Structure 1
Amino acid sequence: MTRTQIINGLIKKNNYETYLEIGVNTPEQPGYNWVGIDIKTKHGVDPNVDTTFKMTSDEFFENHIKTKYDIIFIDGLHLFEQVERDINNSLENLNDNGTIVVHDTNPVEEITQRRERASDAWHGDVWKAVLKLRLENPNVSIHTVDTDEGCTIIKKGKQDLLKPKDESV
Protein backbone atom coordinates (compact mmCIF):
# COMPACT_ATOMS: atom_id res chain seq x y z
CA MET A 1 0.00 0.00 0.00
CA THR A 2 1.30 3.46 -0.88
CA ARG A 3 0.69 6.87 0.66
CA THR A 4 -1.51 7.73 -2.33
CA GLN A 5 -3.67 4.65 -1.74
CA ILE A 6 -3.95 5.48 1.97
CA ILE A 7 -5.00 9.06 1.23
CA ASN A 8 -7.51 8.09 -1.47
CA GLY A 9 -8.93 5.43 0.85
CA LEU A 10 -9.45 8.01 3.60
CA ILE A 11 -11.01 10.43 1.09
CA LYS A 12 -13.48 7.80 -0.10
CA LYS A 13 -14.30 6.40 3.36
CA ASN A 14 -14.96 9.84 4.88
CA ASN A 15 -16.42 11.61 1.81
CA TYR A 16 -13.71 14.25 2.03
CA GLU A 17 -13.81 17.14 -0.44
CA THR A 18 -10.83 19.37 0.43
CA TYR A 19 -7.15 18.36 0.32
CA LEU A 20 -3.91 20.18 1.12
CA GLU A 21 -0.51 18.75 0.22
CA ILE A 22 2.58 20.25 1.86
CA GLY A 23 5.65 19.39 -0.21
CA VAL A 24 4.30 18.63 -3.68
CA ASN A 25 7.71 17.88 -5.24
CA THR A 26 6.90 16.86 -8.84
CA PRO A 27 3.18 17.56 -9.30
CA GLU A 28 2.50 16.10 -12.75
CA GLN A 29 4.94 13.18 -12.82
CA PRO A 30 3.19 9.79 -12.72
CA GLY A 31 4.03 7.89 -9.56
CA TYR A 32 4.14 10.98 -7.39
CA ASN A 33 1.43 11.57 -4.86
CA TRP A 34 -0.13 14.79 -6.20
CA VAL A 35 -1.23 13.46 -9.58
CA GLY A 36 -2.86 10.38 -8.01
CA ILE A 37 -5.11 12.11 -5.49
CA ASP A 38 -8.79 12.02 -6.46
CA ILE A 39 -10.71 14.77 -4.67
CA LYS A 40 -12.95 17.75 -5.48
CA THR A 41 -10.65 20.54 -4.22
CA LYS A 42 -6.87 20.08 -4.15
CA HIS A 43 -4.30 22.67 -3.01
CA GLY A 44 -0.53 22.26 -2.97
CA VAL A 45 2.19 24.18 -1.12
CA ASP A 46 5.83 23.96 -2.19
CA PRO A 47 8.48 26.69 -2.54
CA ASN A 48 10.31 24.85 -5.32
CA VAL A 49 7.63 23.88 -7.84
CA ASP A 50 4.75 25.57 -9.61
CA THR A 51 1.68 24.51 -7.67
CA THR A 52 -1.31 26.26 -6.10
CA PHE A 53 0.86 28.09 -3.56
CA LYS A 54 4.56 28.44 -4.49
CA MET A 55 5.87 29.30 -1.04
CA THR A 56 6.95 27.71 2.22
CA SER A 57 4.34 26.08 4.41
CA ASP A 58 5.12 28.62 7.15
CA GLU A 59 4.31 31.48 4.78
CA PHE A 60 1.15 29.72 3.59
CA PHE A 61 -0.21 29.14 7.08
CA GLU A 62 0.72 32.65 8.21
CA ASN A 63 -0.68 34.61 5.26
CA HIS A 64 -2.71 32.57 2.79
CA ILE A 65 -4.88 30.06 4.61
CA LYS A 66 -8.51 30.76 3.70
CA THR A 67 -10.19 27.42 4.32
CA LYS A 68 -10.15 24.44 6.61
CA TYR A 69 -9.27 21.13 5.03
CA ASP A 70 -10.67 17.63 5.32
CA ILE A 71 -7.33 15.94 4.71
CA ILE A 72 -3.78 17.29 4.81
CA PHE A 73 -0.71 15.42 3.59
CA ILE A 74 2.65 16.51 5.03
CA ASP A 75 5.76 15.63 3.01
CA GLY A 76 7.68 18.92 3.00
CA LEU A 77 11.02 19.73 4.57
CA HIS A 78 12.06 16.59 6.45
CA LEU A 79 13.33 18.27 9.60
CA PHE A 80 11.74 17.74 13.02
CA GLU A 81 11.07 21.39 13.82
CA GLN A 82 9.47 22.09 10.43
CA VAL A 83 7.30 18.98 10.53
CA GLU A 84 6.23 19.85 14.07
CA ARG A 85 5.12 23.32 12.88
CA ASP A 86 3.37 21.80 9.86
CA ILE A 87 1.47 19.34 12.08
CA ASN A 88 0.46 22.03 14.59
CA ASN A 89 -0.61 24.45 11.84
CA SER A 90 -2.50 21.64 10.11
CA LEU A 91 -4.35 20.72 13.30
CA GLU A 92 -5.50 24.36 13.57
CA ASN A 93 -6.75 24.31 9.97
CA LEU A 94 -8.32 20.85 9.93
CA ASN A 95 -12.05 20.20 9.88
CA ASP A 96 -13.31 18.41 13.00
CA ASN A 97 -13.51 14.99 11.31
CA GLY A 98 -10.39 15.65 9.26
CA THR A 99 -7.20 13.65 8.93
CA ILE A 100 -3.52 14.49 8.65
CA VAL A 101 -1.17 12.03 6.97
CA VAL A 102 2.56 12.52 7.60
CA HIS A 103 4.99 10.72 5.30
CA ASP A 104 8.46 9.34 6.11
CA THR A 105 7.76 8.60 9.78
CA ASN A 106 9.24 5.09 9.85
CA PRO A 107 12.52 5.07 7.90
CA VAL A 108 14.08 1.64 7.51
CA GLU A 109 17.74 2.71 7.50
CA GLU A 110 19.66 4.93 9.90
CA ILE A 111 21.40 6.78 7.07
CA THR A 112 18.07 8.08 5.70
CA GLN A 113 16.93 9.56 9.01
CA ARG A 114 19.86 11.92 9.46
CA ARG A 115 19.15 15.64 9.48
CA GLU A 116 21.54 16.17 6.59
CA ARG A 117 20.92 14.21 3.41
CA ALA A 118 23.51 11.40 3.19
CA SER A 119 21.91 9.07 0.61
CA ASP A 120 19.53 9.12 -2.36
CA ALA A 121 16.58 8.48 -0.04
CA TRP A 122 16.09 11.05 2.71
CA HIS A 123 13.49 10.96 5.47
CA GLY A 124 15.24 13.26 7.91
CA ASP A 125 14.09 13.26 11.51
CA VAL A 126 10.37 13.51 10.71
CA TRP A 127 9.69 10.64 13.13
CA LYS A 128 10.68 12.84 16.08
CA ALA A 129 7.66 15.10 15.50
CA VAL A 130 5.34 12.09 15.78
CA LEU A 131 7.13 10.85 18.89
CA LYS A 132 6.76 14.29 20.50
CA LEU A 133 3.01 14.24 19.80
CA ARG A 134 2.74 10.78 21.38
CA LEU A 135 4.61 12.03 24.45
CA GLU A 136 2.90 15.43 24.89
CA ASN A 137 -0.47 15.84 23.13
CA PRO A 138 -3.40 13.89 24.59
CA ASN A 139 -5.85 15.57 22.18
CA VAL A 140 -4.94 13.63 19.05
CA SER A 141 -5.25 10.05 17.90
CA ILE A 142 -2.16 8.70 16.13
CA HIS A 143 -1.56 5.52 14.14
CA THR A 144 1.42 4.74 11.92
CA VAL A 145 1.03 2.45 8.94
CA ASP A 146 4.26 0.54 8.35
CA THR A 147 4.37 1.07 4.61
CA ASP A 148 5.98 3.50 2.17
CA GLU A 149 8.63 4.54 4.77
CA GLY A 150 5.89 5.16 7.33
CA CYS A 151 2.60 6.99 6.95
CA THR A 152 1.31 8.39 10.23
CA ILE A 153 -2.40 9.15 10.45
CA ILE A 154 -3.37 11.90 12.90
CA LYS A 155 -6.91 12.86 13.89
CA LYS A 156 -8.34 15.09 16.58
CA GLY A 157 -9.34 12.83 19.44
CA LYS A 158 -7.82 11.25 22.53
CA GLN A 159 -4.78 9.13 23.22
CA ASP A 160 -2.89 7.88 26.22
CA LEU A 161 0.48 9.59 26.30
CA LEU A 162 3.58 7.45 25.99
CA LYS A 163 5.58 7.17 29.16
CA PRO A 164 9.19 6.49 28.22
CA LYS A 165 11.26 4.22 30.42
CA ASP A 166 14.25 6.42 29.68
CA GLU A 167 13.48 10.00 30.76
CA SER A 168 16.19 11.37 28.44
CA VAL A 169 13.82 10.92 25.48
Structure 2
Amino acid sequence: MRRHDLLRSLHEVLQPRTYLEIGVNSGRSLTLSRTRSIGIDPFFTVMSELLCDLHLVRTTSDEFFAREHPLAHFDEPLIDLAFIDGMHLSEYALRDLINVERFCHPGSVVVLDDMLPRNVMQARRDHESSRRGSGWTGDVYKVAEVLRTHRPDLVCLEVDTIPTGTAVVLGLDARSRVLLEAYDGLVEAFVVPDPQPVPDEVLGRTRAHDAADLLARPLWADLVASRADDAAGARERVTAALDDLRPVGA
Protein backbone atom coordinates (compact mmCIF):
# COMPACT_ATOMS: atom_id res chain seq x y z
CA MET A 1 0.00 0.00 0.00
CA ARG A 2 1.25 3.47 -0.82
CA ARG A 3 1.55 6.02 1.98
CA HIS A 4 -1.21 8.24 0.55
CA ASP A 5 -3.55 5.25 0.41
CA LEU A 6 -2.88 4.63 4.11
CA LEU A 7 -3.54 8.27 4.90
CA ARG A 8 -6.72 8.26 2.78
CA SER A 9 -7.97 5.19 4.65
CA LEU A 10 -7.25 6.79 8.02
CA HIS A 11 -9.29 9.83 7.00
CA GLU A 12 -12.13 7.46 6.10
CA VAL A 13 -12.12 5.33 9.27
CA LEU A 14 -11.44 8.19 11.69
CA GLN A 15 -13.57 10.92 10.09
CA PRO A 16 -11.36 13.47 11.89
CA ARG A 17 -12.85 16.73 13.07
CA THR A 18 -9.42 18.34 12.67
CA TYR A 19 -6.34 17.54 10.60
CA LEU A 20 -2.84 19.01 10.82
CA GLU A 21 -0.07 18.45 8.31
CA ILE A 22 3.61 19.41 8.56
CA GLY A 23 5.30 19.39 5.15
CA VAL A 24 2.70 20.34 2.54
CA ASN A 25 4.92 20.52 -0.54
CA SER A 26 2.61 20.34 -3.60
CA GLY A 27 -0.48 19.60 -1.52
CA ARG A 28 -1.03 16.01 -2.61
CA SER A 29 -1.73 14.66 0.88
CA LEU A 30 -3.86 17.68 1.78
CA THR A 31 -6.22 16.77 -1.07
CA LEU A 32 -7.36 13.85 1.11
CA SER A 33 -8.77 16.08 3.85
CA ARG A 34 -12.44 17.05 4.02
CA THR A 35 -12.33 18.55 7.49
CA ARG A 36 -10.99 21.70 9.13
CA SER A 37 -7.27 21.56 8.41
CA ILE A 38 -3.96 23.31 9.00
CA GLY A 39 -1.02 22.89 6.62
CA ILE A 40 2.46 24.08 7.57
CA ASP A 41 5.38 24.44 5.15
CA PRO A 42 7.76 27.37 4.58
CA PHE A 43 8.18 26.47 0.90
CA PHE A 44 4.89 24.96 -0.22
CA THR A 45 4.10 24.99 -3.95
CA VAL A 46 0.51 23.76 -3.94
CA MET A 47 -0.45 22.32 -7.33
CA SER A 48 -3.55 20.35 -6.32
CA GLU A 49 -7.16 21.35 -5.73
CA LEU A 50 -7.86 21.39 -1.99
CA LEU A 51 -11.39 20.69 -0.75
CA CYS A 52 -11.28 21.47 2.96
CA ASP A 53 -11.61 24.38 5.36
CA LEU A 54 -7.90 25.17 5.32
CA HIS A 55 -5.44 27.43 7.11
CA LEU A 56 -2.28 27.19 4.99
CA VAL A 57 0.78 28.61 6.74
CA ARG A 58 4.02 29.51 4.98
CA THR A 59 6.36 29.18 7.94
CA THR A 60 8.44 26.62 9.78
CA SER A 61 6.75 24.26 12.20
CA ASP A 62 8.90 25.64 15.04
CA GLU A 63 7.67 29.18 14.38
CA PHE A 64 4.10 27.99 14.03
CA PHE A 65 4.01 26.18 17.37
CA ALA A 66 5.71 29.12 19.09
CA ARG A 67 2.63 31.26 18.41
CA GLU A 68 0.34 32.09 21.32
CA HIS A 69 -2.62 30.24 19.81
CA PRO A 70 -1.32 28.10 16.94
CA LEU A 71 -4.54 26.10 16.52
CA ALA A 72 -6.90 29.09 16.49
CA HIS A 73 -8.32 27.81 13.18
CA PHE A 74 -9.92 24.91 15.05
CA ASP A 75 -12.98 25.26 17.30
CA GLU A 76 -10.93 23.63 20.04
CA PRO A 77 -7.10 23.33 20.12
CA LEU A 78 -7.22 19.58 19.57
CA ILE A 79 -5.81 17.44 16.74
CA ASP A 80 -7.64 14.27 15.70
CA LEU A 81 -5.24 13.31 12.89
CA ALA A 82 -1.76 14.63 12.07
CA PHE A 83 0.71 13.84 9.31
CA ILE A 84 4.35 14.75 9.94
CA ASP A 85 6.40 14.91 6.75
CA GLY A 86 8.65 17.89 7.31
CA MET A 87 12.44 18.10 7.41
CA HIS A 88 13.91 14.59 7.10
CA LEU A 89 16.22 14.79 10.10
CA SER A 90 15.47 12.99 13.34
CA GLU A 91 15.75 16.03 15.59
CA TYR A 92 13.21 17.95 13.49
CA ALA A 93 10.75 15.05 13.31
CA LEU A 94 10.97 14.44 17.05
CA ARG A 95 10.47 18.13 17.78
CA ASP A 96 7.42 18.16 15.50
CA LEU A 97 5.99 15.16 17.34
CA ILE A 98 6.59 16.82 20.71
CA ASN A 99 4.78 19.95 19.54
CA VAL A 100 1.90 18.03 17.99
CA GLU A 101 1.38 15.88 21.09
CA ARG A 102 0.74 19.02 23.15
CA PHE A 103 -2.58 19.29 21.31
CA CYS A 104 -3.55 15.63 21.22
CA HIS A 105 -6.22 13.70 23.11
CA PRO A 106 -6.23 9.94 23.83
CA GLY A 107 -7.93 9.14 20.52
CA SER A 108 -5.57 11.20 18.36
CA VAL A 109 -3.56 9.53 15.60
CA VAL A 110 -0.19 10.80 14.37
CA VAL A 111 1.42 9.48 11.19
CA LEU A 112 5.13 10.02 10.52
CA ASP A 113 6.49 9.56 7.01
CA ASP A 114 9.89 8.30 5.78
CA MET A 115 10.42 5.91 8.69
CA LEU A 116 11.76 2.87 6.80
CA PRO A 117 14.66 3.56 4.44
CA ARG A 118 15.59 0.69 2.13
CA ASN A 119 19.34 1.34 2.23
CA VAL A 120 22.01 3.33 4.04
CA MET A 121 22.20 5.92 1.26
CA GLN A 122 18.54 6.86 1.69
CA ALA A 123 19.12 7.30 5.42
CA ARG A 124 22.02 9.75 5.17
CA ARG A 125 21.60 13.05 6.97
CA ASP A 126 23.25 14.90 4.10
CA HIS A 127 20.59 15.30 1.41
CA GLU A 128 23.02 16.49 -1.25
CA SER A 129 25.11 13.33 -1.02
CA SER A 130 21.94 11.24 -1.37
CA ARG A 131 20.64 12.79 -4.59
CA ARG A 132 21.96 9.98 -6.78
CA GLY A 133 19.61 7.60 -4.99
CA SER A 134 15.84 7.90 -4.71
CA GLY A 135 13.48 8.52 -1.81
CA TRP A 136 15.65 10.40 0.68
CA THR A 137 14.38 9.60 4.18
CA GLY A 138 17.17 11.04 6.27
CA ASP A 139 17.46 9.52 9.73
CA VAL A 140 13.83 10.01 10.81
CA TYR A 141 13.72 6.25 11.54
CA LYS A 142 15.47 6.98 14.87
CA VAL A 143 12.27 8.49 16.27
CA ALA A 144 10.60 5.06 16.51
CA GLU A 145 13.36 3.72 18.74
CA VAL A 146 13.18 6.84 20.91
CA LEU A 147 9.47 6.22 21.46
CA ARG A 148 10.01 2.56 22.30
CA THR A 149 12.74 3.46 24.79
CA HIS A 150 11.46 6.68 26.36
CA ARG A 151 7.68 6.45 25.86
CA PRO A 152 6.57 2.85 26.35
CA ASP A 153 3.14 4.27 27.16
CA LEU A 154 2.73 5.04 23.45
CA VAL A 155 2.07 2.54 20.68
CA CYS A 156 4.38 3.20 17.72
CA LEU A 157 3.54 0.97 14.75
CA GLU A 158 5.91 0.90 11.80
CA VAL A 159 3.90 0.30 8.62
CA ASP A 160 5.21 -1.24 5.39
CA THR A 161 4.07 1.47 2.99
CA ILE A 162 5.51 2.42 -0.38
CA PRO A 163 7.94 4.02 -0.92
CA THR A 164 9.70 4.88 2.35
CA GLY A 165 7.57 3.49 5.16
CA THR A 166 5.48 5.20 7.80
CA ALA A 167 4.81 4.97 11.52
CA VAL A 168 1.45 5.37 13.24
CA VAL A 169 1.60 6.64 16.81
CA LEU A 170 -1.33 6.03 19.17
CA GLY A 171 -2.18 6.58 22.82
CA LEU A 172 -0.84 10.14 22.88
CA ASP A 173 -0.79 12.18 26.07
CA ALA A 174 -0.70 15.97 25.99
CA ARG A 175 0.42 16.01 29.64
CA SER A 176 3.69 14.16 29.04
CA ARG A 177 6.96 16.10 29.18
CA VAL A 178 9.25 13.07 28.92
CA LEU A 179 10.41 13.70 25.35
CA LEU A 180 10.79 17.43 25.89
CA GLU A 181 13.00 16.90 28.94
CA ALA A 182 15.10 14.25 27.16
CA TYR A 183 15.34 16.17 23.88
CA ASP A 184 18.78 17.79 24.18
CA GLY A 185 20.46 14.52 25.09
CA LEU A 186 18.68 12.68 22.29
CA VAL A 187 19.77 15.23 19.69
CA GLU A 188 23.38 14.88 20.79
CA ALA A 189 23.12 11.16 20.05
CA PHE A 190 21.23 11.71 16.77
CA VAL A 191 23.77 13.95 15.04
CA VAL A 192 26.53 11.64 13.84
CA PRO A 193 28.53 11.56 10.60
CA ASP A 194 27.34 9.73 7.49
CA PRO A 195 27.17 6.94 6.61
CA GLN A 196 25.30 5.75 9.68
CA PRO A 197 24.68 2.13 10.65
CA VAL A 198 20.96 1.60 10.06
CA PRO A 199 19.44 -1.30 12.06
CA ASP A 200 18.70 -4.43 10.04
CA GLU A 201 15.11 -4.49 11.30
CA VAL A 202 14.61 -1.03 9.77
CA LEU A 203 16.15 -1.86 6.39
CA GLY A 204 14.40 -5.24 6.28
CA ARG A 205 11.08 -3.93 7.66
CA THR A 206 10.89 -6.97 9.93
CA ARG A 207 8.86 -5.07 12.56
CA ALA A 208 6.57 -3.39 10.05
CA HIS A 209 2.85 -4.09 9.96
CA ASP A 210 0.95 -4.72 6.75
CA ALA A 211 -1.13 -1.59 6.16
CA ALA A 212 -4.30 -3.42 5.10
CA ASP A 213 -4.17 -5.71 8.15
CA LEU A 214 -3.67 -2.75 10.46
CA LEU A 215 -6.59 -0.84 8.94
CA ALA A 216 -8.84 -3.89 9.34
CA ARG A 217 -8.46 -3.91 13.12
CA PRO A 218 -11.46 -2.75 15.19
CA LEU A 219 -9.49 -0.25 17.25
CA TRP A 220 -10.27 2.73 14.98
CA ALA A 221 -13.91 2.77 16.03
CA ASP A 222 -12.83 2.86 19.67
CA LEU A 223 -10.56 5.81 18.98
CA VAL A 224 -13.46 7.70 17.41
CA ALA A 225 -15.84 6.76 20.24
CA SER A 226 -13.34 7.99 22.84
CA ARG A 227 -13.93 11.58 21.71
CA ALA A 228 -17.32 11.50 23.47
CA ASP A 229 -15.86 10.24 26.78
CA ASP A 230 -14.53 12.32 29.62
CA ALA A 231 -10.73 12.46 29.88
CA ALA A 232 -10.36 9.45 32.20
CA GLY A 233 -12.89 7.39 30.27
CA ALA A 234 -11.27 8.23 26.94
CA ARG A 235 -7.85 7.08 28.10
CA GLU A 236 -9.32 3.89 29.56
CA ARG A 237 -11.15 3.11 26.32
CA VAL A 238 -8.12 3.77 24.15
CA THR A 239 -5.80 1.76 26.43
CA ALA A 240 -8.14 -1.22 26.16
CA ALA A 241 -8.31 -0.88 22.37
CA LEU A 242 -4.51 -0.85 22.07
CA ASP A 243 -3.82 -3.75 24.43
CA ASP A 244 -3.61 -6.38 21.69
CA LEU A 245 -1.17 -4.43 19.52
CA ARG A 246 2.34 -5.83 19.63
CA PRO A 247 5.32 -5.09 17.38
CA VAL A 248 5.75 -7.57 14.54
CA GLY A 249 8.53 -10.02 15.37
CA ALA A 250 8.35 -9.35 19.12
The TM-score with structure 1 as length reference comes to: 0.84
Q: Within 5 A, what are the aligned runs for 1:1-169?
A: 1-27=1-27, 32-35=28-31, 37-49=32-44, 52-63=56-67, 64-66=70-72, 67-117=77-127, 118-119=130-131, 120-148=134-162, 149-156=164-171
**Does the 8 Å CA contact 2:19/2:33 hold for their aligned counterparts?**
no
Verify the 8 A CA contact 1:18 1:39 in the aligned structure 2: no
**For 1:100, what is the secondary structure of its paired residue?**
strand
SS at match of 2:158: strand
Q: Which runs of 5+ in 2 are unaligned?
A: 47-55, 172-238
| Structure (1/2) with the larger strand percentage | 1
Give distance in 2, aligned partners of 1:132 and 1:143: 13
8 Å CA contact 1:68–1:95 kept in 2: the answer is yes
Instruction: Report how many residues are paired.
Output: 156
SS at match of 2:66: helix
In 1, the alpha carbon distance for the partners of 2:135 and 2:2 equals: 16
Alpha-carbon deviations, 1:32-58, whole Å to 9, x = none? 3222x1321121000112671111111
Identity of aligned residues (%): 31
Q: Give the C-alpha shift of residue 22 in structure 1.
A: 0.2
Give unmatched runs, 5+ long, in structure 1. Answer: 163-169
Please give the per-residue CA displacement for 1:97-147, whole angstroms capped at 9, x wherever unaligned: 110000000011210110011124310000011111111102211111111
Please give the TM-score of this superposition, normalised by the length of structure 2. 0.58
Equivalent AA in structure 2 for residue 40 of structure 1: T
SS in 2 for 1:113: coil
